[in-house]
Structure 1
Amino acid sequence: MKKLIASLSVWLFALHSFAGDSIVLGSSTFLESEIMGEDRPFMVYLPPTYGVSENLYPVIYLLDGDIHRFKGFVGVLESLSTETLDKQVQESIVVAVPNTNRSRDLTPSPMIEWKFKNQILDTFTQTGNAKQFRKFLESELIPAIDAAYRTSQKRVLVGESFGGLFAADTLLKSPSVFTDYLIIDPTSLWDNNYLNREFNSSGKVLNSKSRVYFAFANNSHLGEIGLTNYKWGTTFASSVIDAKKGMSQQQYFENETHGTVALLAWYNGLKVLLPFTK
C-alpha cells in the first residue's frame, strides 16, 4: 500500500460557542499517488460514535468533493443518522475527493470538442482518464482508508454531473468496487449517448449485487440539450433498473435544476441506500 501521508489536521467548519469550544467537521489529508503521478488531497468525516465504539462503518466516497460539498453532504448525513432526524440512515465515514483536473479524471472517453448536433458545448485540453482515476480509487485510496479506519464492506460512490457520468461508467466497467451508487443528474449527453452505447455493447448483464439510486433534475429550460440529457439519462437508468431486477430506482425532481437537485438527491438517496434498521 502506498504511503498515506497525513497533513496537519485542519478545522474545516468551526463555530465558537460561548464556552470557546470548537465544532470540528473533519480532517484534511492527502495521498501520494503513483497511479495519478500527483498528490491527491481528500477530506475525512468520522461519525459521532466512532471514538466511543468498536463498530465498523460504511464508507461514502464523495466525488467533486470540495469543502462546500463536503460540509453540505456531511450535514445531511449526520442529521439523518442521529436522533436529530429520528436516525433514518446508518452512521457512515465520508471521504470527499476534490478535483485536480475534473474533465480529465471524470470523463470516460477522450474528446477535445464536445458537440451536440454540430453545436460545440465545451472544449477541453484533457479528457478520458476515468479508467486511471478509477484505478487510483480502487488500488490506492480505498485500501488506504480501509487500513486507517474501521470500515465495513459497504462502500457507496456519490457522483453528480460529470461525477455522475463517472459513477455510471464505474457501474458498467467495475461494478464491484462499490456496493452502492448514488448517481445524480449524470452528464448523459457526453460523447453522443456514451452510457447507453456502453450498456448496449457490454453492460446488459450487471452481475454485481450493487444497488443504485438515480436522481434527475428538470433541465427543460436548456431546451433540446436539457431534454435530451434527461431522455438519455433516464433510458440508461431504466435499463440498469430492469437488469438489476428491483435493486435500484430512479427519481425525478420536477422543481429542481441541474444546479439545485443535489440536496434532495442526497436526502432521498441516503435513505434508500443506507437505511437504518432498528
Structure 2
Amino acid sequence: MKTKFHIAGHLVGMIGRMTISLLFIFLYVQTVHAQENKSVSVVSSSLRVEIPGSQLQKITSAIVGQEYDLYIHLPRNYGSKDQKHPVLLLLDAQWDFPLVTAIFGQQFYDGFLPGIVIVGITWGGKNPNHDSLRARDLTPNNAAPLRQSGGAPKFLAFIKQELIPFIESKYHVLDDRTLMGSSFGGLFTLYALFTETELFQRYVLTSPALAWANDGIYTFEKNYAAKQSRLPVRLFMAVGDLEDVAGFQKFANQLKVRNYDGLALQTRVLEDTGHSGTKAEGYTRGLQFVFARPSLKLDAAILAQYAGTYALNPETKVVISVENDHLVAQGPYNAKLVLRAETEQDFYVPGQYLFARFKKDEQGRVAGFQLQQFGGEGFARRVGASD
C-alpha cells in the first residue's frame, strides 16, 4: 500500500506534469526535458498526492497496546538482496515524513547521504489524537497536567523488541540505525540515547523539550555518566534562537564537560527560528553531520601512485594530479575537481554524487578507477599521456 497525503481543492480534468531530470556525467552536465500529461482523479473533493518510493505498513504493539502506522521510504538504489541500507527512524511521521523524504532526496543527490530506508512512525487506528498520544509515548516522566504522560519506556521497548525486528524481516537493512525527532520527539531521542545507547549509532534532534518534568532528562544523563565513560555515537542537536537558548546550551555544555569517549557532538543555534521551524535546517544539517564521510590526509606516496591520465571513453580523458595534499581531477574544458580521501583507495567530491575507487592489477599497479555518479557508473582505464 502506498502512503498518500491529501491536499484540499477541486481539480478536474488533465494536469500537465513536467519532469526535469538532471543527469550529471563526469565533468559535464546533460539536461533532459520530458513532459507527460496524466489524468487526475478527484476523491472526496481532494487530490491525493503520492510520495514516490513510499509505502504504508501497519503494526500493532503488544507492549504499548497501540496500532502504529509506518511510513516507509525506500531509496532509489534499493532492490538487490546483496545490498543492505542504513535505517532512519523518524518520530512524528504524521507531520514530518514529507519533509524528511524531500531532505533525503536532496542530500542523497548531492552525495551527503547513502541510500537510507526511512521508517516514519505515527499512530494508527481511527482518528488518532496525535497530541495526546505523542505526549504519552514520547515523554519519559509523568508530569501534570498530562496525566497520560510518561510512556517512553514502553514506546522504546516497542521500538527495540517489535518494530526493529519487523523492519529487519521485511526490508534489506543494516544494523545501522539513526533516530530523529523534534520537541517531545527530541526529548525521546535523548531518553533513548541514555537508556538504550547501542540501539542507534546516530541521533538527530531539534528543539528538545528539555524542561519537561523539571528538567527530568538531566537525571537520565547523570545516571548514565555514573556508570559509563564512553558514549560512542554521533549526536546532533539544534535549537532556534527564538527559543530557550540558555537552557539548550546548559544541557549541551553538560555533555561537553563529561568528555565522553567516542562522542561526536555538534550543536547549532538557528538564526531567526522558532520552535516549529527548526526541523528543515536542523534535520538537513543533522543528517549531514551524523553521516559525514571522513576526509583523510594520505601520505604523499599513496597519492602519487594515482597521478596519471585515465580514459573514460576514447573521447574523454581525465588527468589526475596531486595539489596541496589532495588528488585533483582535470578533464574537458580544464575543469578541476578536488577529490577527498575516504579510504586509501576511495575518493569523493564534496557536495556531489561523485565517487571514485582506484583499482590495481595483479602486479599491484594502478589500473584505473571505478566512477560512480548519480544515474550510472563506469570504469576509467589508466593510459599513457600520449594515448
TM bin (shorter chain): 0.7 to 0.9
Shift of 1:238: 3.0
Q: Deviations over 1:145-195 (max 9, x none)?
A: 011001012100001111111110111111011111002121111111212
* Corresponding residue of 2:308: none
Aligned residues of 2:232 and 2:263 also touching (Cα < 8 A): no
Shift of 1:96: 0.4
Shift of 1:227: 4.7
1:62 correspondence with 2:62? no
Q: Please identify which structure carries the higher strand content.
A: 2
* Corresponding residue of 2:234: 211
User: Of 72, 93, 104, which residue of structure 1 is paired with 2:117?
Assistant: 93
User: Of 252, 255, 260, which residue of structure 2 is paired with 1:234?
Assistant: 252
Shift of 1:53: 7.3
Unaligned ranges ≥5, structure 1: 1-7, 113-122, 221-225
SS in 1 for 2:213: coil
Aligned residues of 1:182 and 1:212 also touching (Cα < 8 A): yes
**Cα distance change on mapping 1:216 and 1:80 into 2, 3 Å:** same
Aligned residues of 2:183 and 2:209 also touching (Cα < 8 A): yes
**Cα distance change on mapping 1:129 and 1:232 into 2, 3 Å:** farther
* Corresponding residue of 1:9: 2
Aligned residues of 2:81 and 2:172 also touching (Cα < 8 A): no
Shift of 1:261: 1.0
SS in 1 for 2:143: coil
1:114-129 → structure 2 map (5 Å cutoff): 123-129=145-151
Q: Deviations over 1:74-121 (max 9, x none)?
A: 101111112xxx322112010001145111100001112xxxxxxxxx
SS in 1 for 2:286: helix
How far apart in 2 are the matches of 1:189 and 1:48?
Answer: 40
1:11-30 → structure 2 map (5 Å cutoff): 11-12=4-5, 17=17, 18-20=36-38, 24-30=52-58
Aligned residues of 1:176 and 1:208 also touching (Cα < 8 A): no
Bigger Rg over Cα: 2
Residue type of the alignment partner of 2:117: I
Normalised to the residue count of structure 2, the TM-score between the two structures is 0.60
* Corresponding residue of 1:161: 183
Q: Deviations over 1:44-75 (max 9, x none)?
A: 00001113674211100000111x41011110
* Corresponding residue of 2:141: 109
1:71-86 → structure 2 map (5 Å cutoff): 71-82=98-109, 86=110
* Corresponding residue of 2:292: 275
Q: Deviations over 1:215-237 (max 9, x none)?
A: 122135xxxxx355334433344
Count of residue pairs brought into register by the alignment: 251
How far apart in 2 are the matches of 1:191 and 1:29?
Answer: 33
Identity %: 22
SS in 2 for 1:43: strand
